[in-house]
């Protein structure tokens, strides 16, 4: 029985080593193929109708662009490549990092030759279109200003009302600052007075001098 197991394992060892060798060769071929495939290529992402697709396009250094379409197609699309909007990505992203290669990446709207600045796009996305319209609407801003004037009871010319509002804001700020300072000075003065009292008691300065009771003189009594 032992001899049969040993013979079986001995027969399987070449097969196991062969599978490991094939796996290593496939990994090396995949790594080399990815690097050859991405040489002088840019990963371009195109947005259209709320969908996006990606393609590896060869960089045309003479024209500073990439071309979408076949070389013999007269209607092929030209997309510019600029350094400011360029990003670096790991491709392909679904494989382990030691398979991937770092390549340039650009994003476009399909049919628009200039690339998208993804950082600016992300910042602008924080403000909705409705909020942006309200902020830029002069009628809304005027209504807010008039409501503030009516709430404060300000009348007269807009220049005078504006100056009055600014003056009220300055006075309110000064009052708050003065109240805060007075709140801070009170405890400090009490602490200083307490230290002074402690020092006086230790030195006997603050103690009052002992009072001598007044002497009373009795009138002399006349002898008989």
Condensed to tens digits (0 to 9), the pLDDT of residues 192-212 reads 666 566 666 665 655 554 544
Which tokens hold the place of 101?
């290669």
163 occurs within a structural domain: no
Q: What dihedral do alpha carbons 65, 67, 72, 76 form, nearest 10°?
A: -120
**CA–CA distance, 191 with 61 (Å, rounded to integer):** 77
Q: Is the separation of the CB atoms in 40 and 59 below 8 Å? A: yes
Q: Is the separation of the CB atoms in 158 and 142 below 8 Å? A: no
Counting residues of the chain whose pLDDT is more than 90, the rounded percentage is 36
71 occurs within a structural domain: yes
pTM metric for this prediction: 0.49
As for how many domains the chain has, the answer is 1
Q: Which uninterrupted H or E stretch holds 96?
A: none
Has residue 64 got a pLDDT over 60?
A: yes
81 occurs within a structural domain: yes
Domain extent, residue 105, equals 36-124
Q: In this predicted structure, what is the pLDDT of residue 35? A: 93
Q: Is the separation of the CB atoms in 42 and 81 below 8 Å? A: yes
**CA–CA distance, 14 with 17 (Å, rounded to integer):** 5
What is the side-by-side order of every strand in the sheet holding 51-60? 77-80, 65-68, 51-60, 41-48, 101-109, 87-91
Lookup result for tokens 């200039």: 114
**In sequence order, which residues have a C-beta less than 8 Å from that of residue 46 and are 6 or more positions away?**
52, 53, 54, 55, 68, 107, 108, 109, 110
Q: Is the separation of the CB atoms in 176 and 168 below 8 Å? A: no
Q: In this predicted structure, what is the pLDDT of residue 74? A: 87
130 occurs within a structural domain: no
Q: In this predicted structure, what is the pLDDT of residue 223? A: 45
212 occurs within a structural domain: no
Q: Is the separation of the CB atoms in 57 and 42 below 8 Å? A: yes
Best CA proximity match to 79, nearest among 94, 64, 93: 64
173 occurs within a structural domain: no
Q: What dihedral do alpha carbons 150, 152, 156, 157 form, nearest 10°?
A: -90
101 occurs within a structural domain: yes
Q: Is the separation of the CB atoms in 154 and 164 below 8 Å? A: yes
219 occurs within a structural domain: no
Condensed to tens digits (0 to 9), the pLDDT of residues 85-144 reads 999 999 998 888 888 999 999 999 999 999 998 776 555 545 555 555 555 555 655 666
Beta strands in 8-92 (DSSP E): 41-48, 51-60, 65-68, 77-80, 87-91
């Amino acid at each position: 029985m032992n001899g049969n197991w040993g013979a079986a394992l001995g027969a399987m060892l070449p097969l196991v080593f062969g599978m490991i060798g094939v796996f290593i060769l496939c990994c090396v071929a995949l790594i080399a193929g990815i690097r050859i495939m991405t040489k002088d290529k840019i990963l371009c992402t195109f947005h259209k109708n709320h969908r996006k697709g990606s393609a590896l396009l060869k960089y045309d250094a003479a024209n500073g662009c990439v071309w979408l379409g076949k070389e013999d197609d007269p209607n092929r699309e030209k997309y510019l490549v600029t350094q400011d909007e360029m990003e670096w990505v790991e491709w392909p992203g679904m494989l382990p990092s030691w398979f991937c290669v770092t390549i340039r990446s650009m994003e476009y709207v399909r049919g628009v030759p200039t690339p998208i600045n993804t950082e600016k796009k992300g910042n602008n996305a924080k403000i909705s279109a409705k909020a942006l319209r309200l902020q830029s609407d002069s009628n809304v801003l005027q209504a807010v200003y008039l409501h503030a004037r009516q709430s404060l009871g300000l009348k007269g010319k807009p220049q005078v009302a504006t100056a009055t509002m600014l003056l009220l804001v300055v006075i309110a700020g000064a009052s708050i600052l003065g109240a805060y300072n007075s709140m801070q000075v009170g405890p400090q003065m009490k602490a200083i007075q307490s230290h002074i009292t402690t020092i006086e008691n230790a030195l006997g300065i603050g103690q009052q001098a002992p009072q001598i009771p007044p002497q009373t003189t009795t009138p002399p009594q006349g002898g008989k």
